[in-house]
Amino acid sequence: MGVFELTGRKALVTGGARGLGAGMAEALAAAGASVMIADVLKDLGEQTAGTIAASGATAGFVQLDVTSDAEWEQAVAHTVAELGGLDIVVNNAGIEITQLLVDLDADDLRKMLDVNIVGTALGVKHALRAMRPGGAAGAGGSVINIASVAATIAFPGIAGYSATKSAVDRLTRVAAMESGKLGYGVRVNCLYPGLVPTEMGMKLAVETAGLGLFESPEAAVTAVVGLTPSGRLGEVADMADAVVFLASDAARFVNGVGLPVDGGMGM
């Protein structure tokens, strides 16, 4: 078995119904893993799991609002029971609400804090509990948190979102340190995706233009590409392949890092 292969591994991907999460679940399955998609979107999540299963992989769906500690407990127990273990957790679910600081809405900011920070922190909690020695899965593993290039640059209109992704970055490092110190055998890393034209990515371009920061959504995209040495937007597969790498034995000594997958935009 090659070091990038995931045959026999069991993975849970939050926010896997669509966008980057769906691509990550597909790529993990293509590398050999069994996959559980966890999302608030039941119909779409089941549909995505069905598509992956149709390719011959083992795939399922579990309803999960990542902000709920109780739902996390159930989702992880369900995944361990259905897949026969848990080795990989991708904390990908996230939301972005575009707003200028002068117009900051406290409730909108709290929503982002809740999903992006609390949701990811709970994901780390339940992943570590399940994967550590004596846990329901108990065989160690890899946790991958999806931060953003927004944690490494100053892009207008996304101050609150950027703050939540910086928090994901820092909590990743502490999680890796605690896991190591306590002998859990779980690596914890995060990814900084660049702009990808998913539903969230396109909404960002439209809304930053709507705030008058760019002449049009196209101009917003052009500005991002102009800041990117690789000269293009990101693609779902760019992020998905990086997740497979971090999940695999090829990354066996990669721990506590933030990996930019942004074509150089955040350097």
Active site residues: 161
Does residue number 17 form part of the binding site for ligand NAD (CB under 6 A)?
Answer: yes
Does residue number 64 form part of the binding site for ligand NAD (CB under 6 A)?
Answer: yes
Residues in the interface with ligand NAD (CB under 6 A) total 31
Q: Give 161 or 184: the residue with its C-beta nearer to ligand NAD.
A: 161
Does residue number 141 form part of the binding site for ligand NAD (CB under 6 A)?
Answer: no
Other Cβ atoms closer than 10 A to 131: 27
Cα–Cα–Cα angle for 126, 110, 178, nearest 5°?
Answer: 30
As a 3-state breakdown, the chain gives helix, strand, coil percent values, each rounded to 5, of 50, 15, 35
Q: Which of 60, 85, 94, 266 binds ligand NAD (CB under 6 A)?
A: 94
* Nearest distance from C-beta of residue 253 to ligand NAD, angstroms: 25
Binding span for ligand NAD by CB under 6 A among 143-151, 169-177, 218-226, 248-256: 143-151
Among residue numbers 189 through 248, which ones bind ligand NAD (CB under 6 A)?
193, 195-196, 198-201
Q: Give 41 or 254: the residue with its C-beta nearer to ligand NAD.
A: 41
At 6, which amino acid appears? L
Does residue number 40 form part of the binding site for ligand NAD (CB under 6 A)?
Answer: yes
Q: Give 67 or 184: the residue with its C-beta nearer to ligand NAD.
A: 67
Q: Give 132 or 259: the residue with its C-beta nearer to ligand NAD.
A: 259
| Phi/psi at 190 (5° precision) | -135, 165
Dig out the tokens for 78 from the structure. Answer: 């369900």
Q: What is the DSSP string of 96-137?
A: ---B-GGG--HHHHHHHIIIIIIHHHHHHHHHHHHHSTTSSS
* CA distance linking residue 252 with residue 131, whole number of Å: 16
* Nearest distance from C-beta of residue 100 to ligand NAD, angstroms: 19
Q: Smallest Cα–Cα separation from 29: which of 2, 53, 1? A: 53
Helix (H) or strand (E) segment spanning residue 142 = strand 141-146
Does residue number 65 form part of the binding site for ligand NAD (CB under 6 A)?
Answer: yes
* Nearest distance from C-beta of residue 262 to ligand NAD, angstroms: 8
Q: Give 184 or 239: the residue with its C-beta nearer to ligand NAD.
A: 239
Strands 141-146 and 34-39: unpaired
CA atoms within 13 A on the CB side of 246: 31
Binding span for ligand NAD by CB under 6 A among 35-43, 102-110, 122-130, 182-190: 35-43
Instruction: Give the gyration radius of the chain's Cα atoms.
Output: 18
Q: Which of 26, 57, 61, 67 binds ligand NAD (CB under 6 A)?
A: 67
Site string for ligand NAD, 105-124 (x = CB under 6 A): ----------x---x-----
3-class secondary-structure state, position 214: coil
| Interacting residues toward ligand NAD by CB under 6 A | 14-15, 17-21, 39-41, 64-67, 92-96, 115, 119, 146, 148-149, 193, 195-196, 198-201
